[in-house]
Structure 1
Amino acid sequence: MSVPGGEWSDSLSLYQKESNARVLPLSQNISGTKLEAQRQILSSGRVPDSDRIGEVDIPIDLIPEESLSSLYPFDEIETAVQKRWKQENAFALRDQPSKKTFYCLEMFPYPSGRIHMGHVRNYSIGDALARYKRMRGFNVLHPMGWDSFGLPAENAAIQRGIHPAVWTEQNIAHMKEQLSRLGLSYDWSREVTTCLPEYYRWNQWFFLKFYEKGLAYKKEGLLNWCDSCLTVLANEQVEEGLCWRCKSPVTLRPMEQWYLRITDYAQELLDAIPDLQGWPEKVRVMQENWIGKSEGAEIRFSVEGSSLELSVFTTRPDTLFGVTFVTIAPEHPLLEELLPLSRQREETESFIRKVLHKRATERNTEPGEKEGIDTGLRVIHPLTGDHLPLWIGNFVVASYGTGVVMGVPAHDERDHEFARKYGLPIKEVIAPSVAHEPHAPEMAYTGPGRLIHSGAFNGLSNELAKGKIISELETRGKGVRKVTYRLRDWGISRQRYWGTPIPIIYCETCGTVPVPESELPVILPRDVAFTGKGGSPLRDSESFFRTTCPNCQAPARRETDTMDTFFDSSWYFLRFTDPSNTAEPFSKIAARQWIPVDQYIGGVEHAILHLLYSRFFTRALKDLGFVDSPEPFRALLTQGMVLKDGSKMSKSKGNVVDPDQLIERYGADTVRLFTLFSAPPDKDLAWDDKAVEGAYRFLGRLYQRVLELSRFPSPPPSSGGTGKTPVSSAQKPLLAKIHETIRDVTFDLESNNQMNTAIARLMELLNALGNGNPEKAEELPLLREGYTTLLLLLSPFAPHLSQHLYGLLGQEGLLLDQPWPEAREEAMIRDEIPYVIQINGKLRATLMLPPDIDRSELLKKALEDERIQRNLVDMKLQKEIYVPGKLLNLVVVPR
């Protein structure tokens, strides 16, 4: 069966044909027949898989809830199975040296208090894969933990008067209960919580190692600042340019922050992207673009009347003779030295304040209208000696390139727009290669060509001129060849409380002093007040802030910045490999055994920063000798979002579906099955209440079937549902279907985690098994084999019901410990296969015929069929289109 996009409609139509639901006369009172019809179906053991019972359309919301709950006792089953899993410690890693390893990891959650459907989908995908791999004979590491530092806990402390630690602990307890209720196969003995000292001490340890190697350093950077609260604000706390708490205007203020030199690894990170074959192409492209390698020249423009020079990076040195102005970022540190030289200082400073306020307002967005101001200063062209105006522009950012750009309005659209607005000169220096090539004079020309108005370089192609102009700059000491990256160093300082304290001490005598490793962890104190004002609460904790210098024992103070929470999540996958280790963050042996993670699963919103930081962290640790692998994740699956009413679920839109309520009504297996079946894992899932009902009815139907089958005498247990059960010729099609399903489901999971199509195949198998009759002794063994196989294949997706029904069929042990069924080639040999017979491309009949039938015999059989004969009356056969083993299409025209 083909299920485009994993839609329910195609699959359910198969069940409608086989539901054997009795047709109710339309003359009957519909409202009086709904419940009775449902009871008749339930008592027959046949469960409908759509909302249509015969000819009577019964809306879902009109079917009594007690009728739905009677399909199968999911609550009783799931409670009992989960109790058994817990008693038998079913999900603990069973590290058997003879087996291959498989590390399956979903991105761990922030403990916000409740899981949402996005969590459910992510974790259901991972759990299905982990269960499948375990049944395939792997040692499976499948852990879970909590990314538990962060701003929301601190905001809760300010707003609700509850300590972040208490708020976080309560949320973790509740969410852990929710995850357990879903039946997820996590090894909770490996649970990691990043806000606990036993974890964050290793954050501090890594920081010290990076500091020793020069990878951690401190420099000035721009931060959001509220003058009223006298505190730094995170981007999330700036709402339309105002402080989230007091509604005062927010400005950008330069302050010292700690950074990690991720740019030292820019080229390595870029070079390794093609090797990430298990990653989605879109994520690799996003990473490549974020790193953003550019090759060009760094050119120095001297400032008139000063010893200062401004460095400009450009990828277009061929346009150097077309520069008519230079623009500097409003936050550039050199402006402190330049502005005193300006005759327009007051106007310039006013413009800078306005732009920086807008930057805080429109954080992370491109400025709309290009705006600038002439500083009154001039810079000197490095080759022509021309004196050019120095402008400040809102479109230049200090953290990108050098924070200074050369304006070439004839050959850059942005510069052209800026020059026309402010009446600046436009000098053309590249003429199109072909004289008649169309070029609008009111627009910048950015194509190839030959240089004009460029002195000794006139007539050269612009590509050849690039290298020659750079060489001339180098000869004159005015520039160098340069490779730059869009990637900036990672700022890890946060002026907040709820994070890892940075292990640095400041001493008036000794300066910046790292905390000795023997004194780790630097514990986050509890004696703090949360007011949202006055900077980091850690400054007000005397027990924390005041300390002694480890070197000279003089009074000193601690660093009050805490670490970005991305630091926590950049190596947690390593801690999972050895979570109880108190002597080191993880052992090299454990890392060598499990890293890189075989399958990582999470949202595409983390495709850049989290994944890039994790890649950097792993490479840095490799260079420090802690790990062997340079990459953290071998394969990555970015699951699609869960949408409702055409948009992502969110409280603000009022379209959130509560997983707890769904589980209460339908059970955990239904919720899991729906999220896995309704769309391919990497595509968005459109919420559909009827599709949830469909998943529930499928499981109810399976329950009724196996319950009925279990009443018949049980033969000796087979070998996991794959034994060579003797069959008659009439049973061969069903035997073939069983083994084809094993083959196809295995392919779906192995090839690209296509769980939606795998589940569709299991639905087909249930249909095929429904044609059997357990009351016939000769059919019973194959039916038992078929249903046992179905339960084994279904168990990764609906583990509770599968385990329960597996026991009803007389099988012992946990499904997790059973071997995955193996498809037998000889069992898939059919005496007859279905041939589709079409007339002018439309299906008219399906004939069961030998697989090796030749074309002429197939045509003869088709023409003998009454359905085909009816459709050929007064028609003339023009030609036949024959596809061996599949179809025959008769092309006909009127006589």
Structure 2
Amino acid sequence: MKEEYNFQKIEKKWQKIWEEKEVFLSREDPQKSKYYCLEMYPYPSGAIHMGQVRNYTIGDVISRYKMMKGFNVIHPIGWDALGLPAENAAITQGVHPQEWTLRNIAHMRSQLKRIGFSYDWSREVNTCLPEYYKWNQWIFLKMLERNLAYRKKSKVNWCPQCQTVLANEQVIGERCWRCESLVKLKEMEQWFLKITDYAEELISGHDLLEKWPEHVLLMQKNWIGKSTGAYITFPIPDTPLSIDVFTTRIDTIYGATFLALSPEHPLSKELIADSRQRGKLQKWIDKNIENLRFRKEPGEVEKEGIDTGKKAINPFSGEAIPVWISNYVLMEYGTGAIMAVPAHDQRDFEFAKKYSLPIKVVIVPEGESPPGEPEESFEDYGVVVNSGPFSEKPSLEAIEEMGQHAQEKRFGRKSILYRIRDWGISRQRYWGTPIPVIHCQNCGIVGVPYEALPVVLPLDVELKGEEGSPLEKVESFVKTTCPKCKGDARRETDTMDTFFDSSWYFFRYTSPSEENLPFSPQAADYWLPVDLYIGGVEHAILHLIYARFFCKYFRDFGLTLIDEPFPRLLAQGMVVKDGAKMSKSKGNVVDPDDIVEKYGADSLRLFILFASPPEKEFIWNDEGIDGGYRFLNRLWATMQENLDLFKQKCSPREETGIEEKASKLRIKMHQTIRKVSDDIDKRYHLNTAISSIMEFYNLIKKEKEMLSQSVRGKNLLRESLESLVLLLSPFAPHLCEELWERMGHKTFLIHSPWPSFDPDLGTEEKVTIVVQVSGKLRDKFEAERDLAEDQIKEMALGSNRIKNIVGEKKIKKIIYIKNKLVNIVL
């Protein structure tokens, strides 16, 4: 009687063995090449969701593959355990954040173990424990000593729902990134980290990140916002006042027909002080300060303005031009004032048209004459005209000469400007790392002594969701003694932004028990950088910029030798069901526990990787999980039928002869080994790796009866089945571990060598793919025969020729004729 595939029994068995034998324990070994595979750690919300299952399964497949390739792999996990949801749960459910968090961690840990991930649990970190956040405080104090942390009063983003401050990066479209409440501006004393000191390095470091997705680098580049230009001073006649502007296009300065100030500019109110319409103008300014949040992009508002009645002198032309206040000028960019050149900036052009202001052309395309009244702005470089001694010069040459002229005449200077602002880390909430400073009336701000760390969160706190920090109301926490003068003092009651915790957790994994420093420099320099970092693109600006900043700071402080923590980034796509991202609010969540209970962890792992490449959206459908389950059942049945092969003595492979070596199955085996290896290691196309394994299995099943008729055939069948199990093991480790044991092997699969291929047999047949754009031949390239359609389309769209032709045009559809043609229809 055939034994059925009892996935529950098999999976529990191997999970127990792996844990008892500490199979995934990682230790430094200078004799072996290391590999650090890391998925972004989860917030302990209560249960693992399918997006996390996908993320962690991707990392697990690659980790297991690298283990089989002989690498010394570190594959850690931990918990991003501080933050607002725990505090909100305390308010709504009446449970302490610590209890809620630790309970959730226990449940989610059991979920992860049930899916069979190859984590080294000895390296687990939990950011809500004092033994972790002690080092947040240590790092902060070191930054304070080096003037990288400072306190100042500033207008901050205040979320009325969360009752806390948000960093600029946490405001999306004027709303809180977490609860989506409309954010207000509020002036408060805040703690900041001087990330701006590293702005240039954060940009130049992109040169080392060639294996990051281009769109992620672009998002960071735009956020950091490096601009090379010049500051120019425009004096206001008959007053001691002047207005400084920053421009990247000094070559257009002769075309400046007005200045425009932000309503928040320090001079806005002063410039209208003597106006007869002061009251009306002041109301306009106040209204726009309220309406125009710095989060809005300039192009998103209806452009409005008021004329101050004042003039400023263009220091190049000597011309007096009007000074306006406008809502499309943002205080956070440059100086909060612009020289408006309507002929060469579209926003200025629209404003000038609306208010009938002059438009003066000073740049024309090479070989062209200045137009009369331009119909739109010309923003490209060209040849300078109507610009005094700088006329007839190319733009780039004029920019250099005019910048030099401004410096020599002392009304300007060349400079580089960055859009990024210092990181505000103060939060008026309880469940975060206490900022380790003391406020003393005699001594001012004093850092908590290192020997007094950690400053531990008090447990006896009332959480009601009221404005202000809950810690302010805990007298036993607030009242303290000044370390310097020993007088009465008060503790800081703000806590740190939880992105502080996640900016260095990957360092802590390398030495989680280190007691003298945040991490061991020796361990960090052995394991880091992270060889592959896997996580969502939503972290492109927040977490990934902060983590890069911390890494560079640690380098400067002497804790590490590395410059960039994540040389390779894989940004996985979302899991979608019923046309929307899975979420409780949309009612389209599929519980991983239910799937594991019904189909098994291996079926879930297989399905969540099979339907699409990791970086693309994954569309959930119930039929797909059935397909993966049926495949594993078929494989189980086939192996049961052929287990006797592994009890027989196998003839040496070299005796199998030329006929056997040239067989279709042997060629397919070597092609599959090569394809799966490349798909996992080079392309991360785990879906096509699974597809290739399934094709290989189908051919084994088709030819097994014929092969069973001879010794040579049995040898090949045995070898093919062994290779099949090895190739499938990173994807379905429980089933494959069971089959491997039943084949008679004594080693764990991760300690078994990954199968090798013969290059002569493993080379896939090539075909030429023709690429058309709207039916016209534009390019062609070679690809492996029968390569997956999505890979062919990706190769076509990645061609430089096609990129130049398509540009920003909308692609209506892409037609693919297998092994022949791709037609991109615009």
TM, length-normalised to structure 2 = 0.85
Aligned position for 1:772: 704
Work out whether residues 725 and 782 of structure 1, in 8 Å CA contact, stay in contact via their aligned partners in 2: no
Measure how far apart 1:606 and its partner are.
1.5
SS in 1 for 2:188: strand
Distance 1:170 1:335, change over 3 A: farther
Distance 1:811 1:685, change over 3 A: same
The structure 2 residue matched to 1:571, chosen from 478, 489, 504, is 504
Aligned position for 1:614: 547
Work out whether residues 208 and 567 of structure 2, in 8 Å CA contact, stay in contact via their aligned partners in 1: no
Q: Is the aligned partner of 1:268 residue 2:201?
A: yes
Q: Is the aligned partner of 1:759 residue 2:690?
A: yes
Aligned position for 2:615: 682
The structure 2 residue matched to 1:816, chosen from 750, 760, 764, is 750
For 1:748, the aligned partner's letter is: D
Work out whether residues 224 and 360 of structure 1, in 8 Å CA contact, stay in contact via their aligned partners in 2: no
Greater CA drift, 246-255 or 342-351: 246-255
Q: Is the aligned partner of 1:119 residue 2:52?
A: yes
SS in 2 for 1:327: strand
The structure 2 residue matched to 1:279, chosen from 208, 212, 229, is 212
**1:414-813 to 2 correspondences below 5 Å:** 414-431=347-364, 433-435=366-368, 441-710=374-643, 714-716=647-649, 726=656, 729=659, 732-770=663-701, 771-773=703-705, 776=709, 778=711, 779-813=713-747
Measure how far apart 1:82 and its partner are.
1.0
For 2:305, the aligned partner's letter is: G
Aligned position for 1:862: none
For 2:690, the aligned partner's letter is: I
Q: Is the aligned partner of 1:208 residue 2:141?
A: yes
Deviations 1:772-798 (A, max 9, x none): 138647344433332222111111000
For 1:294, the aligned partner's letter is: S
Work out whether residues 157 and 163 of structure 1, in 8 Å CA contact, stay in contact via their aligned partners in 2: yes
Unaligned 5+ runs, structure 2? 768-818, 821-826
SS in 2 for 1:252: strand
Deviations 1:333-366 (A, max 9, x none): 5557667566555434433443344346976795
Aligned position for 1:878: none
Counterparts of 2:617 and 2:322, CA distance in 1: 52
Measure how far apart 1:306 and its partner are.
5.0
**1:808-887 to 2 correspondences below 5 Å:** 808-824=742-758, 828=761
SS in 2 for 1:72: coil
SS in 2 for 1:396: coil
SS in 1 for 2:197: helix
Aligned position for 2:777: none
For 1:671, the aligned partner's letter is: L
Greater CA drift, 191-200 or 498-507: 498-507
Work out whether residues 294 and 331 of structure 2, in 8 Å CA contact, stay in contact via their aligned partners in 1: no
Distance 1:187 1:513, change over 3 A: same
SS in 1 for 2:704: coil
Counterparts of 1:821 and 1:427, CA distance in 2: 71
Counterparts of 1:361 and 1:621, CA distance in 2: 31
Measure how far apart 1:415 and its partner are.
0.9
Distance 1:365 1:571, change over 3 A: farther
Counterparts of 2:531 and 2:512, CA distance in 1: 18
Distance 1:240 1:820, change over 3 A: closer
Measure how far apart 1:672 and its partner are.
0.6
Counterparts of 1:410 and 1:835, CA distance in 2: 54
Work out whether residues 298 and 329 of structure 2, in 8 Å CA contact, stay in contact via their aligned partners in 1: no
Aligned position for 1:199: 132
SS in 2 for 1:801: helix
Measure how far apart 1:556 and its partner are.
2.0
Distance 1:317 1:362, change over 3 A: closer
Work out whether residues 670 and 762 of structure 2, in 8 Å CA contact, stay in contact via their aligned partners in 1: no
For 2:665, the aligned partner's letter is: L
Counterparts of 1:389 and 1:756, CA distance in 2: 62
Distance 1:72 1:347, change over 3 A: farther
TM, length-normalised to structure 1 = 0.79
Q: Is the aligned partner of 1:411 residue 2:368?
A: no
Measure how far apart 1:627 and its partner are.
0.3
Work out whether residues 341 and 377 of structure 1, in 8 Å CA contact, stay in contact via their aligned partners in 2: no
Counterparts of 1:359 and 1:528, CA distance in 2: 38
Aligned position for 1:168: 101
Deviations 1:697-726 (A, max 9, x none): 1111001111222256712599xxx96674
Measure how far apart 1:260 and its partner are.
1.9
SS in 1 for 2:300: coil
Work out whether residues 220 and 545 of structure 2, in 8 Å CA contact, stay in contact via their aligned partners in 1: yes
Measure how far apart 1:665 and its partner are.
1.6
SS in 1 for 2:722: helix
Counterparts of 1:749 and 1:661, CA distance in 2: 28
Work out whether residues 131 and 185 of structure 1, in 8 Å CA contact, stay in contact via their aligned partners in 2: yes
Measure how far apart 1:241 and its partner are.
7.5
Counterparts of 1:835 and 1:296, CA distance in 2: 51
For 1:765, the aligned partner's letter is: F
SS in 2 for 1:661: helix
Counterparts of 1:475 and 1:533, CA distance in 2: 57
Counterparts of 2:278 and 2:621, CA distance in 1: 62
Work out whether residues 232 and 535 of structure 1, in 8 Å CA contact, stay in contact via their aligned partners in 2: no
For 1:789, the aligned partner's letter is: S
SS in 2 for 1:823: coil
Distance 1:245 1:127, change over 3 A: closer
Measure how far apart 1:668 and its partner are.
0.7
Measure how far apart 1:603 and its partner are.
1.3
Measure how far apart 1:426 and its partner are.
3.0
Work out whether residues 610 and 690 of structure 2, in 8 Å CA contact, stay in contact via their aligned partners in 1: yes
Distance 1:506 1:374, change over 3 A: farther
Counterparts of 1:154 and 1:181, CA distance in 2: 28
Measure how far apart 1:130 and its partner are.
0.7
Counterparts of 2:179 and 2:363, CA distance in 1: 54
Work out whether residues 241 and 357 of structure 1, in 8 Å CA contact, stay in contact via their aligned partners in 2: no
Counterparts of 2:725 and 2:161, CA distance in 1: 64
Distance 1:235 1:277, change over 3 A: closer
Aligned position for 2:256: 323
Q: Identity of aligned pairs, percent?
A: 52
Counterparts of 1:643 and 1:245, CA distance in 2: 20
Work out whether residues 592 and 628 of structure 1, in 8 Å CA contact, stay in contact via their aligned partners in 2: yes
Counterparts of 2:568 and 2:380, CA distance in 1: 40
Work out whether residues 640 and 682 of structure 1, in 8 Å CA contact, stay in contact via their aligned partners in 2: yes
Counterparts of 1:395 and 1:684, CA distance in 2: 36
Work out whether residues 229 and 533 of structure 1, in 8 Å CA contact, stay in contact via their aligned partners in 2: no
For 1:101, the aligned partner's letter is: K
Counterparts of 2:263 and 2:645, CA distance in 1: 83
SS in 1 for 2:338: strand
Distance 1:289 1:545, change over 3 A: same
Aligned position for 1:839: none
For 1:803, the aligned partner's letter is: E
Work out whether residues 111 and 168 of structure 1, in 8 Å CA contact, stay in contact via their aligned partners in 2: yes
Greater CA drift, 590-599 or 736-745: 736-745
Work out whether residues 439 and 446 of structure 2, in 8 Å CA contact, stay in contact via their aligned partners in 1: yes
SS in 2 for 1:301: strand
SS in 1 for 2:584: coil
Counterparts of 1:615 and 1:91, CA distance in 2: 28
Matched length: 765
